[in-house]
Structure formats: structure tokens, C-alpha cells
Amino acid sequence: MSAPSRLEVELGDRGYQIVVGEGLLDDLGAQVPLPLHARRALVVTQPPLVAHGHAPRVERALSGARLEVRRHVVPDGEVAKSTEVLAGIWSACADWPLGRDDVIVAVGGGVVGDLAGFAAATWMRGVAVVQVPTTLLAMVDAAIGGKTAIDLPQGKNLVGAFHQPLAVAADPSVLSTLPERLRVEGAAEIVKAALLADPLLLERLERDPAGVRAGEPELIRMLVLRAAGIKAEVVAGDEREAGARAHLNLGHTYGHALETLTGYGTYLHGEAVSVGLVVALELGADLGITPPALVDRVRAVLGALGLPTAVPRLDRAALHATLARDKKARDGVRFVLLEDVGRPAVQGVSSVELDAVLGRLEGADEPRG
């Protein structure tokens, strides 16, 4: 394999590298640090990652690093982020047993990363975790930053912990094995990153949405590096979301509620974020914060990337109840809005203001006008 690219997440003694390169799964033991005294590695993964051979490649690489390796397979999809599945990982750790010096390796998308990361944060009061993201969304967002969590019926990611990984190892070549829908959903997080910090990245997405949908290797590698770099910079400056890191929730306030109320799996996470971006931008425009031209521009690029922009009809009382449980809620619902590309702002929004926007948007997929 050619030499991988490396990005630093600068968090002092908790800092780590994001390593990006083709063929990385086969050389994992040499390319990322492993705990000095580790003897065992529990690989947490899902059936498609086994079927495509990605998890076995990681396991062989870890065995080559002289670790005893076991595999723990969890259900596919968001349903895996449950207390029952988490307890199954704990039981696997206890039965082996996995010691405090050992490591959990998450091989999969954002679901596996969140779940295995939370298991690592809580087993023996915290063991090491290596994130090996295998979806575009996880490579540019979910695997970076140490947020781990499981879901409850009342809301997404309500139970979790901050637990930074030892490393994030992203091999873009695995994305070629994904169906287009799974590959494309990650582009929503790249659009979000571009809106927060990089006008040129937004222009790049606008120039070649077909290349993103087709998974063109050089384009995808560039997008992964740039979007992951934006996330790394934000996390380094605000590890526990006391300030600027909250901006990364652009599109997520409504997006998480949409996932919860439609049943996890109806919308993929990136698809829900795409709809959430539309709601946040339209809300900002109605409040006189966001330029209407930017709303239309973002709608256009999301649509060209194959992402949903239509806002479905949801039970309004259930929506407000779900938003009130949002982890970011503080004296009302807070939305990340945009004054322009690169100029995010967090603002409290009343139910009346939100209802006015949703009343106009629900069931329609048309630009403002």
C-alpha cells in the first residue's frame, strides 16, 4: 500500500491520529498504535462487514500484531444501539475475559462506532478503542471526536460518554462495496462540514456530485481528508461541546427527532441530517438570519448528491416532546443556524417559530419563493 495520510486530533495526552489510506485494513497493526500491554482484541462488527471480508482483514492484521482476536457480531442497522446489544458486548468481554490493558476494535459505520465506543468507555471503567470506519459518514464524522452512545425509544444517543479512540483508521477503498444509498448518506456530513468551515469544499461538491455518487476514489479520498480535518480541528478546540463544537450539530436537531419519530432505519442518519439541514436553513431564512439564496443553493447540492430534501409530516406534539429531550436543549430548543457559509450561530427557537416553518415545508419539496 502507498503511505497513508495522517491528520492529528490535538488533545494533549488524549490526542490521536486519523489515518487515511487504501489497503489500511491489512496493515492495521503497523499503522496505528495499540496498547503496550494488550494481549486481546475484541472486534465488534456487523454481518455485511464479515460477508465483504473487511472484518476478517482487520482480524488477520491484529493477529499479525500478536494479539489474540475474537469477533463479536451485532445486528445490522440502528437497532444495534440498544441496551440489550450493549449488554451482549459486556458479556462477551466478561466471558473471555477482556482485561483493562486490552482493546476493542470497532469495524463498521457510525452505529458500530457509537456502540463499541460506549462499550469500551464502560467496560472495566474504560478500555482502549480503535475506530475502523467503513462508511463515508463514519469516516468524516461519526468515528472522530470520542462521542459514544446508544439510543432509547425516547430519543437518539441519550445514553453515552466521551471516550476518545487510540486512532481512527479509514480505508476509502472499502466504500466501493457499499450500495449507493449507504455511500451517499455520508455526503450530508460533508455538506455540513463545508457549510460550517469551507466554501471551497462546498464548491467542489457542487462541481461533481456525480463523482461523489459514483464513489470516484481520488475525489472520495480528498473529501474524507478535508471533512475529517474540519471535524478534527473543531474537536481539538472544544472536546466536550462547551462552545464551538455545538456547531457540528447543524442539521442534527431536527434530524435526530426525525429518526426517532419515524422509527430508526426509515431514514439513514445522513438522510435525516440532509432533511435537518433544510429545516435549519429554512428556519434561519424565516428568522432573517440565513440568506434565501444559500437555502436554495444547499437544497440544490443535496438533491444533486441524491439526498432527501422533502420535510415529512410528523405529529407536532410528538416532535416538540422529542426536541425537548434533545441533549442540547437549554431553556427551549436550540438550533444551529447559518448567517452564511462559515458563519454558524446557535439560537433558541420557539415552538411558534418552528411550527411556522414546518407548516410551510411539510409535504413539499420546493425552494422558497
Query: Could you say which of 78, 185, 241, 271 is catalytic?
Result: 241
Query: Could you say which of 269, 271, 282, 299 is catalytic?
Result: 269
Query: Could you say which of 59, 78, 185, 189 is catalytic?
Result: 189
- Is residue 245 annotated as part of the catalytic site, yes or no? yes
Query: Could you say which of 72, 256, 299, 334 is catalytic?
Result: 256
**Which helix (H) or strand (E) element contains residue 338?**
strand 333-340
- Is residue 231 annotated as part of the catalytic site, yes or no? yes
- Is residue 147 annotated as part of the catalytic site, yes or no? yes
- Is residue 72 annotated as part of the catalytic site, yes or no? no
Grouping H, G, I as helix, E, B as strand and the rest as coil, residue 133 is: strand
Q: What is the rounded CA–CA span in Å between residue 16 and residue 144?
A: 10
Query: Could you say which of 157, 247, 249, 282 is catalytic?
Result: 249
Query: How far is C-alpha 76 from the chain's CA centre?
Result: 16
Helix extents (H) in the chain? 28-31, 47-51, 54-64, 83-95, 110-122, 136-137, 180-185, 187-197, 199-207, 209-214, 217-237, 252-262, 269-286, 292-304, 316-324, 351-361
Q: What is the rounded CA–CA span in Å between residue 190 and residue 138?
A: 11
Share in percent of the chain as helix, strand, coil (round to 5): 50, 20, 30
- Is residue 40 annotated as part of the catalytic site, yes or no? no
- Is residue 221 annotated as part of the catalytic site, yes or no? no
Identify whether the C-beta of residue 336 lies closer than 8 Å to the C-beta of residue 279: no
- Is residue 252 annotated as part of the catalytic site, yes or no? yes
Query: Could you say which of 57, 81, 147, 334 is catalytic?
Result: 147
Query: Could you say which of 156, 192, 226, 245 is catalytic?
Result: 245
Grouping H, G, I as helix, E, B as strand and the rest as coil, residue 166 is: coil
> CA of 232: how far to CAs of 142, 215, 218, 359, in Å?
11, 23, 21, 37
Query: Could you say which of 231, 247, 299, 334 is catalytic?
Result: 231
Characterize 72-101 residue by residue with b for buried, 16 or more Cβ atoms within 10 angstroms of its Cβ, and e for exposed.
bebebebebbbeebbebbeebbeeeebbee
Backbone angles phi, psi at 195, to 5 degrees: -65, -35
DSSP 139: I
Identify whether the C-beta of residue 119 lies closer than 8 Å to the C-beta of residue 104: yes
CA dihedral 270, 160, 144, 62 (to 10 degrees): -110
**Which helix (H) or strand (E) element contains residue 71?**
strand 68-73
Identify whether the C-beta of residue 148 lies closer than 8 Å to the C-beta of residue 187: no
Could you list the active site residues?
A: 125, 147, 189, 231, 241, 245, 249, 252, 256, 269
